[in-house]
Amino acid sequence: MIKTNPAGRKLYNKLRVSDSVILARNVLYPNAVDDSPIIGDDGTIKFLSIDEDPTPIDGKDYDARYFSIVTTEGPVDGWKTDPAPLYRIAKVPTKRPVDEIKANAANEEQAIRNQIAPPAQVNGDLNILVTALSRQITGLSLTDAEAAALARSQKLSSVILDNQQNLVEIHAAIDDGKEPDMTAGYKTEIPA
């Protein structure tokens, strides 16, 4: 799609022909009529109409954990001799490296873990658990609060281990070139 200004005039990139350096971006054509001959033109400068592809994510599903948008741009072949040359800008979804995708999957698992057991809550429970385990090891009976914290911790550990196994399976699917739903299969609540 040819890029225009709000008034509907085409926008151009001004390039030096000898070394293809962009001298100016998004400028109007120097004449009142776009693409008309420029008086005094010595052929050292070209105005290239900007042909910008619409962003690939417009109206389409696209998962940024798997893909990044890479912009490629440059003059269309033959621009030095073309009477109406184009400067093409394309935005292409490009698959991320496997290690980056796996890191994104691990971030999803960590976010779910933080939702189930916020770090501040875990830190508070940790003090109670240390005391409870110390009392249990020495043969003392646990208080109701300590027993409840120990039971909650055991259930939480079970959920965390299950979720870590789910992450292992997601990583294996990613290694196989698949694009699994990174949030599927996780337990999001501690059983009562």
| pLDDT tens profile 122-166 | 888 888 889 899 998 999 999 998 898 889 899 999 999 999 999
pLDDT of 59 strictly over 60 = no
C-alpha to C-alpha distances, 35 to 12, 65, 72, 84, 177, nearest whole angstrom:
10, 42, 24, 6, 47
Say if residues 122 and 133 touch (Cβ distance below 8 Å): no
Report the phi/psi class of residue 154: left, alpha or beta, with left for phi > 0 and alpha for psi in -120 to 50: alpha
Say if residues 67 and 95 touch (Cβ distance below 8 Å): yes
Q: What is the pLDDT of residues 69-120, one digit of tens each?
A: 888 899 999 998 888 899 999 888 889 999 999 999 999 999 999 999 888 8
* CA gap 192, 136 in Å, rounded: 23
Nearest to 192 by CA among 151, 146, 144, 147: 151
> pTM higher than 0.85, yes or no?
no
Helices 98-116 & 144-175, crossing angle to 10 degrees? Answer: 160
